[in-house]
Amino acid sequence: MPISPTVKQELQGYALMLGSILIFSLLPYYLQFLAPVDGNTLFAFRVLSQIGFGFIFLAMARKFADLKAIFSQPKILLLMCITSPLIALQWWIFFWGPVNGETINIAMGYFLLPITISLTGRFYFKESMSPLLWAAVGAALIGVCVELYTSHSFSWVTLLICLGYPPYFILRRKSRVSTISNFVAENIFIAPVALFLLYIANQQQLPLLPSLDWGVLMILGAGFLGTIAVIFFVSASTRLRFTVFGMLNYGEPILMMLVAILLLNEFISPQQLWSYSFFGIAVLLVISESILRITINRKIAF
């Protein structure tokens, strides 16, 4: 039996989301090999390398006309002036936070993010939520409460992450520009800031390359992984219901926890195990709801 276009699009969304989660979860491990380069410099190199890889993907997809159209339409340019700073802040905090003692607050932001995205889908996009999805939100809220009680922290970093992404995705859904073209254009908008950060680092004589051999390739590798992960992530957001997309974001902190324990030899407390258990339950409920809905739709179509 042929798969309907709607189901096919949703399955593509799941595949893209899985890819982005895997890459984002492994990036913290990869970044350990880029010492002693600081977070601002890594962010700058990421932006510049993403422009290069973005142009390569545009050439492969033959989408240069879409990129040119962005810079010839005032409405799209205005939208880009808003989305570029929003996504730049998220990329920057991802690199700046861990080297400035904000790892716990970053984690809390990503714990709250799926809830804010899901609630945005429910109340802004007017998407319906089944009992299973409401149960997933409830389980996630319990996990966040446990984590808040354990860490006793709630900072501007947390708010930046959990409240900064929803407006970005709302505006991205209003744009009809292809994901790759939009991605390259946003990086071009951010490039002056990246160049300024590299200038400051050079003036302060900070390390610009990792201490390992093949440092340039390592930096380019981080840019390549970041490019693939972001393109997958944004593409998934346009193919999945916003509520489902939001709750699936819990896959990233759960996998990051496994990476921290298995690869970075970090310790997890019993209290954190409780919170992660509730996050895992939330993800399983979302997956169960999606499988059930797809099965029912296929039976109806049959």
Quick one: pLDDT at residue 227?
Answer: 85
Furthest CA-CA distance within the chain: 67
Say if residues 174 and 121 touch (Cβ distance below 8 Å). no
Quick one: pLDDT at residue 268?
Answer: 67
Quick one: pLDDT at residue 2?
Answer: 55
Give me the torsion for CA of 159, 104, 243, 249, rounded to 10°. Answer: 140
Segment 132-142, tens digit of pLDDT: 888 888 888 88
Higher pLDDT, 221 or 280: 221
The sign one gets for the Cα dihedral 284, 290, 293, 297 is negative
Is the pLDDT reported for residue 169 higher than 90? no
Q: Would you say how long the chain is, in residues?
A: 302
Pick the most confident of 93-97, 166-170, 235-239, 292-296. Answer: 166-170
Quick one: pLDDT at residue 99?
Answer: 65
Quick one: pLDDT at residue 199?
Answer: 94
Segment 49-74, tens digit of pLDDT: 889 988 988 888 887 888 888 888 88
Quick one: pLDDT at residue 299?
Answer: 64
For residues 244 and 291, give the distance between their C-alpha atoms in angstroms, rounded to a whole number: 12
Quick one: pLDDT at residue 262?
Answer: 76
Say if residues 29 and 256 touch (Cβ distance below 8 Å). no
Quick one: pLDDT at residue 261?
Answer: 72
For residues 115 and 119, give the distance between their C-alpha atoms in angstroms, rounded to a whole number: 6
Segment 266-275, tens digit of pLDDT: 666 777 778 7
Place of tokens 């993907």: 57
Where do the domains of the chain lie? Answer: 5-301
Pick the most confident of 137-141, 183-187, 204-208, 231-235. Answer: 183-187
Quick one: pLDDT at residue 219?
Answer: 86
Say if residues 179 and 230 touch (Cβ distance below 8 Å). no
Q: Read off the pLDDT band of 301 (50, 70, 90).
A: low
Say if residues 210 and 32 touch (Cβ distance below 8 Å). no
Q: Read off the pLDDT band of 279 (50, 70, 90).
A: confident
For residues 289 and 280, give the distance between their C-alpha atoms in angstroms, rounded to a whole number: 14
Place of tokens 């491990």: 29
DSSP 56-102: HHHHHHT-HHHHHHHTT-HHHHHHHHHHHHHHHHHHHHHHHTGGGT-
Q: Does the global pTM surpass 0.85?
A: no
Q: Give me 33's structure tokens.
A: 């090999």
Residues 6+ apart with CB under 8 A from 69: 76, 177, 181
Segment 102-145, tens digit of pLDDT: 766 777 777 778 888 888 888 888 878 888 888 888 888 888 88
Quick one: pLDDT at residue 198?
Answer: 93
Is the pLDDT reported for residue 95 higher than 80? no
